[in-house]
């Protein structure tokens, strides 16, 4: 699939209680959080959609109360990383 452009009606954009310059980034972040939380989009792709670093996206998920999907493979990877750190 190619990229997708989502058109949002001007009256909807105007109704958002956000400064206009924050709207595009905020909508991308909100969409990324919801798609990740529902298991529709994996963490890396959701983070990319939001345009955030891994750590900032994790912080945003926590701030929004979205549960992180953490499987055994990720746990093993984290254990190996900790082992290499000493």
Q: Distance between CA atoms of 52 and 33, rounded to whole angstroms?
A: 11
Confidence of residue 74 (pLDDT cuts 50, 70, 90): confident
Write down the pLDDT at residue 64.
95
Confidence of residue 75 (pLDDT cuts 50, 70, 90): confident
- The count of structural domains within the chain is 1
Confidence of residue 79 (pLDDT cuts 50, 70, 90): confident
DSSP 66: P
Average of pLDDT values for 12-35?
A: 95
Look up the domain containing 77 and give its range.
Answer: 10-85
Average of pLDDT values for 11-21?
A: 94
Burial class for 35, CB neighbours closer than 10 Å (0-12, 13-18, 19+)? middle
Average model confidence (pLDDT) across the chain: 91
Residue 2 lies in a domain: no
């Amino acid at each position: 699939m190619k990229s997708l452009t989502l058109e949002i009606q001007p009256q909807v954009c105007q109704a958002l209680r956000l400064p206009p310059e924050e709207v595009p980034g905020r909508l991308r972040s909100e969409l990324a959080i919801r798609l990740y939380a529902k298991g529709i989009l994996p963490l890396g792709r959701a983070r990319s959609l939001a345009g955030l670093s891994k750590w900032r996206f994790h912080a945003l998920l926590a701030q929004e109360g979205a549960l992180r999907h953490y499987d055994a493979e990720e746990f093993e990877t984290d254990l190996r990383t900790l082992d290499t750190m000493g």
